[in-house]
Amino acid sequence: VQGLHVGIIMDGNGRWAAAQGWQRVAGHKRGAQSVRRVVEAAPDLGIGTLTLYAFSSDNWQRPEREVSVLMSLLKRYLQSETANCVANGVRISIIGRRDRLDPALLSAITAAEDATLHCTTLHLRLAIDYSARDAIVRAAQSLANCKLITRDLFADVLARDKHDLRSAGDVDLIIRTGGEQRLSDFLLWESAYAELYFTNRMWPEFGAKDLSDAIVALHSRDRRFGRVETTAAAAS
Ligand code: FPP
């Protein structure tokens, strides 16, 4: 898939719900609607790959009820959106550990991945039970017998899943909603040269216009990847 790779840390669901006088899980439910909005808006903004941080490995430490609501929201999202994704050319894949997921969620995952495998308009990657450090350690472990590890090989192994033998590529932009400014163990390797965009907007309120604002900000940044400007280099 061509186009920008954008990663989103969807933060602020709980605080948004509390501000309405609602329970935290109500914020997650609204958050699932924001996911639908950004997936719909992404292709027209030049985004080819969208990686959403849906559930971090550290999120298992949340109260049991909140974990189970999140898991069932994810399952329902996959079940209800797959047909829509096929119609709109959206390929779904999941990154993260699979061995701790409920069998019903796992089968929703494989069904969504298999049904959308041929889609090429947008690659939607949902990070579930994901930890970037854990992913890096597992990739390193799988290469333990390899004599020469290159960056490209490592990146490919890191991104490898059942269907994907090639890396999804570096991340161009990381967006974090909810006002905090940190990466929280998300795509640490892949975002080595990512631009970071933080907004106070809470995730349940995030929409197409906010995504567009972030992309406009990205285009206004001077991305040098450690080099100097070509024109400046010629002049010096
Ligand atoms: C962070 O907000 C958000 C999460 C831990 C979960 C993200 C999940 C969704 C948006 C819903 C389901 C996702 C999909 C793909 C359908 P928080 O609870 O940490 O908010 P807080 O910082 O205000 O407490």
What was the pLDDT predicted at 231? 59
State the DSSP code for 45.
G
Q: Residue 161 pLDDT more than 70?
A: no
Check if the beta carbon of residue 55 is closer than 8 Å to that of residue 95.
no
- Ligand 1 in reach of 54 Cβ (< 6 A): yes
11 has catalytic annotation: yes
What is the whole-number distance in angstroms between the Cα of residue 227 and the centre of ligand 1?
37
145 carries an active-site annotation: no
* Identity of the amino acid at 122: L
Residue minimizing CA distance to atom 1 of ligand 1: 11
Q: How do residues 87-134 score in pLDDT, each as one tens digit?
A: 999 999 999 999 999 999 999 999 999 999 999 999 999 999 999 999
Q: Which of 13-17, 25-29, 225-229 has the lowest mean pLDDT?
A: 225-229
3 closest CA partner among 87, 99, 71, 91? 91
Can you give the pLDDT at residue 230? 63
pTM, two decimal places: 0.94
Nearest to 186 by CA among 129, 143, 103: 129
Q: What percent of the chain has pLDDT over 70?
A: 93
